[in-house]
Structure 1
Amino acid sequence: MGRLVPAVTRALDILELFLAGDGTLSAPEVTRKLQLPRTTVHELLTTLAARSYLVPVPEQPGRYRLGVRTYQLGSRYAEQLDLAAEGQRVAREVAETCDETVHVAILEDTDVIYIAKVDSTHAVRMVSAAGRRLPAHCTSVGKMLLASLPQHELDARIDGRELAAMTPNSLTDPDELRAALAEIRERGIAIEHRESNPDVSCVAAPVRDSAGRVVAALSISVPMIRWSEERETELAELVAKGADDLSVSLGHRGGVR
Structure 2
Amino acid sequence: MGRLVPAVTRAFDILELFLDGDGTLSAPDIVRRLQLPRTTVHELLTTLAARSYIVPVEGRQGRYRLGVRTYQLGSRYAEQLDLAQEGQEVARTVADTCGETVHVAVLDGPDVLYIAKVDSTHAVRMVSAAGRSLPAHCTAVGKMLLASLPGAELDARIPPEGELAAMTPNSITDPGRLRTELAAVRAAGTALETMESNADVSCVAAPVRDRTGRVVAALSVSVPMIRWSDARRAELEELAVKGAGELSGRLGFRGTR
Band of TM-score, shorter chain: over 0.9
Unaligned 5+ runs, structure 1: none
1:1-257 matches, within 5 Å, as 1-159=1-159, 160=161, 162-256=163-257
Q: Secondary structure at the match of 2:123?
A: coil
What is the CA distance between 1:153 and its match in structure 2? 1.1
What is the CA distance between 1:85 and its match in structure 2? 0.4
RMSD (Å) for aligned C-alpha atoms: 0.8
In the alignment, residue 193 of structure 2 is paired with which amino acid?
E
The aligned length equals 256
Unaligned 5+ runs, structure 2: none
What is the CA distance between 1:244 and its match in structure 2? 0.4
Q: Matched residues, percent identical?
A: 77
Is this contact kept in 1: 2:27–2:38, CA < 8 A?
yes
In the alignment, residue 247 of structure 1 is paired with which amino acid?
S
In the alignment, residue 3 of structure 1 is paired with which amino acid?
R
What is the CA distance between 1:161 and its match in structure 2? 5.6
In the alignment, residue 127 of structure 1 is paired with which amino acid?
V
Q: Deviations over 1:18-64 (max 9, x none)?
A: 01011110111111111111111111101100000000011101100
How far apart, CA to CA, are the structure 2 residues paired with 1:121 and 1:41?
51
- Structure 2 length normalisation: TM-score? 0.98
How far apart, CA to CA, are the structure 2 residues paired with 1:150 and 1:61?
42
Identify the range of structure 1 (242-251 vs 154-163) with the bigger mean alpha-carbon deviation. Answer: 154-163
Runs of 4+ in 1 over 4 A off after TM superposition: none
- Structure 1 length normalisation: TM-score? 0.98
How far apart, CA to CA, are the structure 2 residues paired with 1:154 and 1:189?
18
In the alignment, residue 78 of structure 1 is paired with which amino acid?
A
Is this contact kept in 1: 2:189–2:207, CA < 8 A?
yes
In the alignment, residue 35 of structure 1 is paired with which amino acid?
Q
How far apart, CA to CA, are the structure 2 residues paired with 1:125 and 1:69?
48
What is the CA distance between 1:217 and its match in structure 2? 0.2
How far apart, CA to CA, are the structure 2 residues paired with 1:190 and 1:113?
17
How far apart, CA to CA, are the structure 2 residues paired with 1:47 and 1:204?
45
In the alignment, residue 226 of structure 1 is paired with which amino acid?
R
Change (3 A) 1:52 1:161: farther
